[in-house]
Chain A
């Protein structure tokens, strides 16, 4: 028990007194509204007291940082040894342009890189593919071949800087390019560090960047986990992501539950398919969460996530290495919480969300730029977003002490509630036979659709407030400059792709693609074949076409 009997008795008596007083006062002056809830519509009480957490066990449920269940953080030293990684997601136009932005960000104090690819790259198509018309360089950088990739990482010390790549269906291809680039620069694979997002389950659930059906998609992920475990030990081969689930409109609890259940699926599949011991690969699994505008809900979600993963790894998978119990995660502030109206307000929203992520103990953070709801971020807007992190780290004192909100009746109680509700979802999905099977039934997709629709209705009715949208609506005082990607980028990129195609050794390309195809058919690990193919300047699409041919294509069932 968390409190002494005497204290609980005292607390009960005082709480009763307080309740009577509240009753009296609210009869005279009614509250502004009847129901108070989080942005995810989780009802919140007016006051939390010791009784709300009386059943907690200190050692079992809370403990200290660096000890099971890691509620308070993985690192015993907190942020004192080093802050979280300031990792701004960026990519635009050509590789050359993005490389320029990266050098600027590093100069301004960013400590890790994070790559945004354009849609053709994300979906495994080349710039000159008819289906890619109009998309080149728009949402990120266009990469067709290893030549583009080498340009992207030009002047970046790959043995010192870690790079995250938001890439999913073609993750094997882009990671192969990174490995090949390291090799060409003389950096051994065991020295490079970074992350590929490589989380396909959340694509089917939320982000909708898919290529092959769920089962072969998971197989490719298991390949990368195995290859990383054996040859690239500092690489995070999956970033199990709740971010996109949340952006698609889920609640915080759904984000927590579906993300962890996706993680469970990857662990199970890797153990089964690769015959690896859980402790061989689990320490390199990483996570990625959203930090939305509801401050306390986000902090509690992150705390609950750490505790749940530790319990899953120790109890469900019998992992023995404490590092396997760690949930290490990156956080991005919520794009969907920003407004195109009165866009400067977005700086404030992002600052609050970033602070929540820090108090939730994130290892890495991207802060959105104020203009991201309108266009790709301008240099100035990115700088403000990066400075937001630096102010939180170095001015506010938020990093002074570890998990400063622990022990709060409210924080611990809400953390427990979110954990309980997330377990319910996880059990339900277990009963369905796992996440792949739940996805085939449309379960997580429809849960999210319901939540998103409910939220939009609440906004329309004014039950939930977005300043500038349904309250305090007014003209924008200062319009912001919009970054636009020149349509000429597509032309340029197509030309350079054609030039590469002309100069490369066609015979070697065909041979390496055929070997890859054979490896796919025979169930071998694709990574060595993929690296060989990119070195021979096979394109992203050529490699992905092999996957499409062997594994088939997945099409959006269009649930709503």
Chain B
């Protein structure tokens, strides 16, 4: 049987706004993905090593504190350093549009901001993420 897409939903940094992350974790599970949710207050190091250990296909980062410009690229960088560049990283939260370009350049594959429907995020994953 084909393995399901494995997703880690993670909350980097000190931010505790987890409503979005928890809704997405549940939505991904309902959509048939395998889901791991880290809980709040994870360092980029913890997230990268957990993602590798859990052998996930995708890491979804959620940050509403404004620290995304440091935290998101750091996770991508740490994954790459450890030879896990095949794990895709997406992000969401309060991310001003003017920061998108910088995050894309740093290797974040997609950014989802408030107002996106759950369905559209699931669809994006189905179209862009493969089991590796």
Question: What chain A residues lie within 8 Å of B37 (beta carbons)?
Answer: 558, 560
A63 at the interface (CB under 8 A from B): no
Which chain A residues in 226-267 approach chain B with CB under 8 Å? 247-249
- Are B118 and A119 interface neighbours, CB within 8 A? no
Interface of A is mostly: loop
- Are B26 and A135 interface neighbours, CB within 8 A? no
- Are B25 and A339 interface neighbours, CB within 8 A? no
Would A131 and B114 be within 8 Å (CB), given that A138-B67, A453-B26, A560-B22 are in contact? no
Question: What chain A residues lie within 8 Å of B18 (beta carbons)?
Answer: 208, 248, 556
- Are B19 and A248 interface neighbours, CB within 8 A? yes
Question: Who on chain B is nearest to A455 by CB?
Answer: B23
A residues touching B (Cβ–Cβ < 8 Å)?
119-120, 122-123, 125, 130-135, 138-139, 203, 207-209, 247-249, 336, 339-341, 373-376, 449, 452-453, 456-457, 459-460, 468-470, 482, 484-485, 487, 555-560
- A-contact 0/1 string along B3-21, CB 8 Å cutoff: 0000001010111111101
> In the complex, how many residue pairs between chain A and chain B have their CB atoms under 8 Å apart?
107
In the assembled complex, the CB of B122 is this many whole angstroms from the nearest CB of chain A, namely 11
- Are A556 and B70 interface neighbours, CB within 8 A? no
- Are A456 and B14 interface neighbours, CB within 8 A? no
Question: Who on chain B is nearest to A456 by CB?
Answer: B23
25 contacts across the A-B interface (CB closer than 8 A)? A119-B13, A119-B14, A119-B65, A119-B67, A123-B14, A125-B14, A134-B71, A135-B13, A138-B65, A139-B65, A139-B66, A207-B16, A208-B17, A248-B18, A249-B19, A340-B115, A341-B115, A449-B22, A456-B23, A468-B115, A470-B117, A482-B98, A560-B9, A560-B22, A560-B25
Would A339 and B115 be within 8 Å (CB), given that A134-B67, A135-B65 are in contact? yes
Q: Which of A134, A203, A249, A559 contacts B69 (CB 8 A)?
A: A134
How many angstroms from the CA of A131 to the CA of B14 in the assembled complex?
8
Q: Which of A375, A460, A555, A559 contacts B96 (CB 8 A)?
A: A375
How many angstroms from the CA of A376 to the CA of B113 in the assembled complex?
16
Interface of B is mostly: loop
B54 at the interface (CB under 8 A from A): no
How many angstroms from the CA of A341 to the CA of B27 in the assembled complex?
23
Q: Which of B21, B35, B43, B114 contacts A339 (CB 8 A)?
A: B114
Residue from B14, B39, B40 with most neighbouring chain A CB atoms (10 Å): B14
Would A208 and B67 be within 8 Å (CB), given that A340-B113, A449-B26, A469-B115 are in contact? no
- Are A373 and B26 interface neighbours, CB within 8 A? no
Which chain B residues in 57-100 approach chain A with CB under 8 Å? 65-67, 69-71, 94, 96, 98
- Are B38 and A558 interface neighbours, CB within 8 A? yes
Other A-B contacts than A453-B22, A482-B96, 8 sampled, CB-CB below 8 A, are A130-B43, A134-B70, A134-B71, A135-B15, A135-B65, A138-B66, A139-B15, A560-B26
How many angstroms from the CA of A485 to the CA of B40 in the assembled complex?
23
How many angstroms from the CA of A247 to the CA of B71 in the assembled complex?
24
- Are B39 and A558 interface neighbours, CB within 8 A? yes
B123 at the interface (CB under 8 A from A): no
- Are A122 and B14 interface neighbours, CB within 8 A? yes
Question: Who on chain A is nearest to B114 by CB?
Answer: A340
How many angstroms from the CA of A330 to the CA of B73 in the assembled complex?
39
In the assembled complex, the CB of B53 is this many whole angstroms from the nearest CB of chain A, namely 15
Question: What chain B residues lie within 8 Å of A339 (beta carbons)?
Answer: 114-115
Question: Who on chain A is nearest to B116 by CB?
Answer: A469
Question: Who on chain B is nearest to A121 by CB?
Answer: B14
Question: Who on chain B is nearest to A554 by CB?
Answer: B41
Closest 7 pairs (CB-CB, A-B): A134-B70, A558-B39, A208-B16, A556-B39, A138-B66, A134-B67, A119-B14
How many angstroms from the CA of A286 to the CA of B17 in the assembled complex?
24
How many angstroms from the CA of A315 to the CA of B114 in the assembled complex?
45
The count of chain B contact residues (Cβ–Cβ below 8 Å) is 37
In the assembled complex, the CB of B64 is this many whole angstroms from the nearest CB of chain A, namely 8
- Are A460 and B119 interface neighbours, CB within 8 A? yes
In the assembled complex, the CB of B79 is this many whole angstroms from the nearest CB of chain A, namely 18
- Are A133 and B70 interface neighbours, CB within 8 A? yes
Question: What chain A residues lie within 8 Å of B16 (beta carbons)?
Answer: 203, 207-209
How many angstroms from the CA of A249 to the CA of B19 in the assembled complex?
7
Question: Who on chain A is nearest to B99 by CB?
Answer: A484
Question: What chain A residues lie within 8 Å of B65 (beta carbons)?
Answer: 119, 135, 138-139
Question: What chain B residues lie within 8 Å of A468 (beta carbons)?
Answer: 115
Question: What chain B residues lie within 8 Å of A469 (beta carbons)?
Answer: 115
- Are A373 and B40 interface neighbours, CB within 8 A? no
In the assembled complex, the CB of A308 is this many whole angstroms from the nearest CB of chain B, namely 26
- Are A135 and B115 interface neighbours, CB within 8 A? no
- Are A460 and B70 interface neighbours, CB within 8 A? no
Question: What chain A residues lie within 8 Å of B23 (beta carbons)?
Answer: 249, 449, 452-453, 456
Question: What chain A residues lie within 8 Å of B66 (beta carbons)?
Answer: 135, 138-139, 375-376, 485
How many angstroms from the CA of A134 to the CA of B12 in the assembled complex?
11
Question: What chain B residues lie within 8 Å of A247 (beta carbons)?
Answer: 19
Question: What chain A residues lie within 8 Å of B22 (beta carbons)?
Answer: 449, 452-453, 559-560
Question: Who on chain A is nearest to B36 by CB?
Answer: A558
How many angstroms from the CA of A169 to the CA of B15 in the assembled complex?
14
Q: Which of A139, A456, A557 contacts B118 (CB 8 A)?
A: A456
Question: What chain A residues lie within 8 Å of B94 (beta carbons)?
Answer: 373-375
Q: Which of B11, B14, B69 contacts A120 (CB 8 A)?
A: B14
How many angstroms from the CA of A344 to the CA of B22 in the assembled complex?
28
Question: What chain A residues lie within 8 Å of B69 (beta carbons)?
Answer: 134, 487
In the assembled complex, the CB of A121 is this many whole angstroms from the nearest CB of chain B, namely 10
How many angstroms from the CA of A320 to the CA of B65 in the assembled complex?
44
Question: What chain A residues lie within 8 Å of B26 (beta carbons)?
Answer: 449, 453, 560
How many angstroms from the CA of A438 to the CA of B105 in the assembled complex?
45
Question: What chain B residues lie within 8 Å of A130 (beta carbons)?
Answer: 43
Residue from A125, A135, A484, A559 with most neighbouring chain B CB atoms (10 Å): A135
Question: What chain B residues lie within 8 Å of A459 (beta carbons)?
Answer: 117
How many angstroms from the CA of A371 to the CA of B130 in the assembled complex?
37
Question: What chain B residues lie within 8 Å of A132 (beta carbons)?
Answer: 14
Question: What chain A residues lie within 8 Å of B41 (beta carbons)?
Answer: 123, 208, 555-556
How many angstroms from the CA of A482 to the CA of B94 in the assembled complex?
12
- Are B115 and A134 interface neighbours, CB within 8 A? no
Q: Which of A131, A373, A482, A556 contacts B43 (CB 8 A)?
A: A131
Question: What chain B residues lie within 8 Å of A135 (beta carbons)?
Answer: 13-15, 65-67
